Amino acid sequence: MAKLSIEPGAVIDGFTIAERVHSGGMATLWSVTRPDILAPLLMKIPRVSEGEDPAAIVSFEMEQMIMPRLSGPHVPACYATGDFACQAYVVMERIPGKTLYSRLGDLPLGYEEARVIAGKIAAALADLHRQNVIHHDVKPSSIMFRPSGEAVLIDFGLSHHNQLPDLLQEEFRLPYGTAPYMAPERLLGVRDDPRSDLFSLGVLLYFFTTGVRPFGESETLRGMRRRLWRDPYPPRKLRADYPLWLQEVVLRCLEIEPAWRYPTASQLAFELAHPGQIKLTGRAERVNRDPITTVWRRRLNGNVTQPRDKSDVAAQLAAGPIVAIALDLTEGSAALNEALRVTAERILATLPAARLACVNVLKLGRVTIDRTLDEEGHNKHVDRLVTLRHWASPLKLDESRLTVHVLEAIDPAAAILEFAEANHVDHIVIGARQHSLSRTLLGSVSAKVAAEAACTVTVVRPARLASSGVQESA
């Protein structure tokens, strides 16, 4: 079949080619239009001429397989793909604006701005991982932002889909990716661990807050292999004012062993959304790299980040969920809160990597002026935070797995739903109180949460009220 001409004015499968937007090492991007699609569009066409890298073709095949299966605000919408037999292409939504690469001239960014940016990227990765995809090329030029604020991940040619053949793994032995951002396990052929993306995000956050890449600019495979045993300088070595909580986050993302990083992108996003509740470990105050004895032990043992059996991404994400317990701290709630604690204990026993968020809503009046102090002069918000921690103390959770939150709102159910959505909560556990006239007329908080939540909801009743057991799932 004759080769199609790629130039302005040409028509491919109904798409009219306009100007060339970008020319990269593996593909070119063209602005295109089609009468029945009103959205701005881009057509991505691979480089397949003589002398081009064969990996460009394979990575484009991966992108053609993966993109139509993705959905949501954190990826460009995919409208069409073309076959290599005629003309290979992917037509996708054109995201307005520039990539995060355009901010490199502004580095280092302020800590708060960097926290917000990294939190949005972590949320995007969490959504991608839930769709069984690991990006494997997280870097500034692969990240854009919608006008509404959400981070958008682009360029899926190096990605791994847990339910599709991994053509890059099958056809090439060398790791493909952007060297400064590549996780150590990638050098050993591991492509099925979503925590590799968290390492790359840690590199980006380190770079954006210090102005220096943690592993330098080396592009050689030999130089890259040093990260299998050598950790980077802690950010506080470079900037004395570097926040302790931020160094804790960055160095945890950059752990050599994936198991020492955050279990999921959702948990990383949660940490970045609540920096004041991040548990500080020895990472936070370090100013020096690991001693040379530790480095040599890693290098000689040669067992760090060794390839393992193929994982199930969905199972790994399910093992580290965020569980929110909605507690009622009003008088008469002791039996219910005890039932909630029993349920929480059972859930956490089966999910050792889960994070528990204890949530209470301080209900505000619609027309009254709310007082921040109670009759005894105590701050109601602070008292409730203390009470939440006291409730959780019998669970004996490590502080890194527990956060407490007092939400102030007129509508408790709406506040809980908004908290769950904003923090990517996987499971809400909430109590069902005894019937009352107001609840019969207006509907209970638990009923509204169970009806409208986008995640699993377990409604718990005190043992004396439940006809069988203490909980019911919705």
Higher pLDDT, residue 106 or 332: 106
350's tokens: 């089966």
Q: What burial class does residue 1 get, using C-beta atoms within 10 Å of its C-beta: 0-12 exposed, 13-18 middle, 19+ buried?
A: exposed
Pairwise CA distance, residues 236 & 468, whole Å: 55
Of the candidates 38, 46, 35, the one whose C-alpha atom is nearest the C-alpha of residue 13 is 35
**Tokens coding 225:** 């292999």
Rounded average pLDDT over 26-33: 91
What pLDDT is attached to residue 438? Answer: 44
pLDDT at 422: 83
Angle between helices 445-452 and 412-422 (to 10 degrees): 30
463 beta partners: none
Nearest residue to 262 (alpha-carbon basis) of 208, 307, 322: 322
Nearest to 84 by CA among 176, 170, 164, 4: 4
Q: What's the CA gap between 433 and 333, in Å, rounded?
A: 8
Query: How much is the pLDDT for 181?
Result: 94
Stretch 334-351: mean pLDDT: 88
R_g over Cα of the chain: 25
Q: Are 34 and 16 in contact (CB under 8 A)?
A: yes
How confident is the model over 422-456, as pLDDT tens digits? 888 999 999 886 555 444 444 588 888 989 999 99
What are the φ/ψ torsions at residue 108 (nearest 5 degrees)?
-80, 145
Query: Residue 2 above 50 pLDDT?
Result: no
Name the residue type at position 109: L
3-state secondary structure of 472: strand
Instruction: Give the residue extent of every domain in the chain.
Output: 11-93, 100-316, 321-473
Q: How many helices (H) and strands (E) does the chain have?
A: 15, 16
What does the buried/exposed string (b/e) look like for 230-257 if buried means 16 or more CB atoms within 10 Å of the residue's CB? bbbebbbebbeebbebbbbbbbbbbbbe
Considering the domain 11-93, what is its CATH architecture? 2-Layer Sandwich (3.30)
Examine domains 11-93 and 321-473 and report if their fold is the same.
no
Fold classification of 100-316 (topology level): Transferase(Phosphotransferase); domain 1 (1.10.510)
- Nearest CA among 85, 76, 81, 94 for reference residue 32: 94
Tokens found for residue 279: 């548990």
**pLDDT averaged over every residue in the chain:** 85
pLDDT digits (tens, 9 = 90+) for 115-167: 999 999 999 999 999 999 999 999 999 999 999 999 999 999 999 999 888 88
Q: What is the pLDDT of residue 367?
A: 47
Beta strand residue intervals within 83-153, DSSP E: 89-93, 133-134, 143-145, 151-153
Length of the chain: 474
Which amino acid does the sequence have at 352?
P
Quick one: what percent of the chain has pLDDT higher than 90? 50
Q: Name the CATH architecture for the domain at 321-473.
A: 3-Layer(aba) Sandwich (3.40)
At 288-314, the pLDDT tens digits run 998 888 888 888 876 555 544 445 566
Residue 276: partners with Cβ closer than 8 Å, 6 or more residues away: 245
CA distances from 209 to 50, 175, 255, 273, 398 (A): 42, 27, 18, 17, 28
Q: Which amino acid is at 472?
A: E
Looking at the chain, the whole-number percentage of residues with pLDDT higher than 70 is 84
